[in-house]
Amino acid sequence: MVALNSCIEDSFDQVDGLLQRLSMLRNWSRQTLSAYRSDLMDVHRFLYASQTTLFEAQSEVLVLYLGALMKRGLRASSIQRKRSALSTWYSFLQQEGLREDHPVRKLPKQRRGRPLPKNMSEDDVSRLLLTPDVDSMHGLRDRCMLELMYATGMRVSELVGLQLGCLDMQAGVLRVVGKGDKERLIPFGEEAGVWLSRWLQKRPQIANAFVFPGRAGKAMSRQNFWLRMRKYAEEIDLKPLPSPHVLRHAFATHLLNHGADLRSVQMMLGHANITTTEIYTHVSRVRLHQWVDAVHPLGSGD
């Protein structure tokens, strides 16, 4: 092992010499040079074990390297940084006439990782829905809005902008105009329908087309709804405090947890691309793994 490490270090001297030249040409700081050296040394060790070098490596072995980084559990941003270091290296080799091709340009694009959306458990959603005082006008309105958002996965802008003409109480569906002025029909279910009927009976009889009218004949603002929701979350000590958008996430995740079809969830959410909806399948898997770890005899739970 000592001899192998010595060979690796000796072969890296050639790389380091060129890296020093590149640093001077580009006026890198000491920290930048150190970062590039660290990234290239990492791939150099992998390539040396694969019986090739940073001068000769082909796209196929570099794909294996990036795959090995993913197996190590590196974040997408860290993998992208190492890929960028490789791209800079092979561009320099081309400029110096030391290589004709650029193997990194042949690699598939590295997709930037997306953070998993924040989510609420079904119990927490139930607690939140039960919090408003439905004997008051504002409480009844808020309960109806929370129920409707959780039942449909509407965006908060779509909820506060919902108009009376967009409701079909008999069919149990509503029409919303989402991003890009695209319309979609969403079923709202029996429970939300009950609260919607109760609210429409008590709703102020004003010349206002909005289901949830605000002041001066305008729609309620998104900020006002968020403040109302935060108030209820604080009352039941729900932490972290959820935003209205978290109810949309909960809608999608809970549907998938109960076996809903991904394409149907995409249509209800109004996502133009199904890959946007697929993030919720990852949330479901994470929760499944956590549940197995907690209850399975061989899991990590107590």
Alpha-helical segments (H) within 73-153: 76-95, 122-129, 137-152
Order of strands, edge to edge, in the sheet holding 173-177? Answer: 167-168, 173-177, 183-187
Whether 263 maps to a domain, the answer reads yes
Query: Do 135 and 72 sit in the same domain of this protein?
Result: no
| CATH code, 88 | 1.10.150.130
Whether 112 maps to a domain, the answer reads no
- Quick check: is 248 catalytic? yes
Task: For the chain, give the number of residues.
Answer: 302
- Cα separation of 257 and 217, whole Å? 40
Last residue within a domain, chosen from 59, 76, 106: 106
Phi, psi of 100 (to 5 degrees): -90, -40
Query: Do 29 and 86 sit in the same domain of this protein?
Result: yes
C-alpha angle with apex 116: 110 to 121, nearest 5 degrees? 160
- Cα separation of 39 and 249, whole Å? 37
Catalytic residue among 65, 90, 232, 280: 280
Whether 181 maps to a domain, the answer reads yes
CB hemisphere CA count around 106 (13 angstroms): 11
pLDDT digits (tens, 9 = 90+) for 147-194: 999 999 999 999 999 999 999 999 999 998 877 778 899 999 899 999
Q: How far apart are the first and last CA of the chain?
A: 40
Whether 117 maps to a domain, the answer reads no
pLDDT digits (tens, 9 = 90+) for 1-32: 434 444 555 567 888 888 999 999 999 888 89
Query: Do 45 and 191 sit in the same domain of this protein?
Result: no
- Quick check: is 111 catalytic? no
Whether 302 maps to a domain, the answer reads no
Catalytic residue among 83, 155, 249, 254: 155
Q: Please give the residue range of the domain that contains residue 197.
A: 122-295
Residue 280 CA: distances (Å) to CA of 42, 115, 255, 261: 34, 11, 10, 12
| CATH code, 179 | 1.10.443.10
Whether 111 maps to a domain, the answer reads no
Rounded to the nearest angstrom, the gap between the alpha carbon of residue 208 and the centroid of all alpha carbons in its chain is 37
- Quick check: is 215 catalytic? no
Query: Do 64 and 188 sit in the same domain of this protein?
Result: no
Whether 186 maps to a domain, the answer reads yes
Given the structure tokens 């133009």, which residue do they identify? 272
pTM above 0.75, yes or no: no
- Cα separation of 174 and 156, whole Å? 15
- Quick check: is 239 catalytic? no
Whether 300 maps to a domain, the answer reads no
Query: Do 96 and 177 sit in the same domain of this protein?
Result: no
- Quick check: is 36 catalytic? no
Last residue within a domain, chosen from 82, 106, 130: 106
Token output for 36: 């590039």
Query: Do 275 and 208 sit in the same domain of this protein?
Result: yes
Query: Do 100 and 139 sit in the same domain of this protein?
Result: no
Catalytic residue among 45, 175, 230, 271: 271
Query: Do 81 and 132 sit in the same domain of this protein?
Result: no
Query: Do 85 and 153 sit in the same domain of this protein?
Result: no
- Tally of domains within the chain: 2
Query: Do 41 and 73 sit in the same domain of this protein?
Result: yes
Catalytic residue among 99, 198, 230, 245: 245
Catalytic residue among 179, 202, 282, 296: 179
Query: Do 132 and 266 sit in the same domain of this protein?
Result: yes
Last residue within a domain, chosen from 52, 78, 106: 106
Query: Do 82 and 179 sit in the same domain of this protein?
Result: no
- Quick check: is 138 catalytic? no
Catalytic residue among 143, 248, 249, 254: 248
Nearest CA to 152 among 42, 270, 288?
Answer: 270
Per run of 10 residues, the mean pLDDT along the chain (length 302 residues) is 47 84 89 90 88 89 87 82 91 92 80 61 94 95 96 92 93 86 88 95 84 82 92 92 87 84 83 70 48 46 49
**Residue-level pLDDT at 102:** 93
- Cα separation of 59 and 61, whole Å? 6
**Residue-level pLDDT at 9:** 56
Q: Answer positive or negative: Cα dihedral of 165, 277, 280, 228.
A: negative
Token output for 90: 């092979």
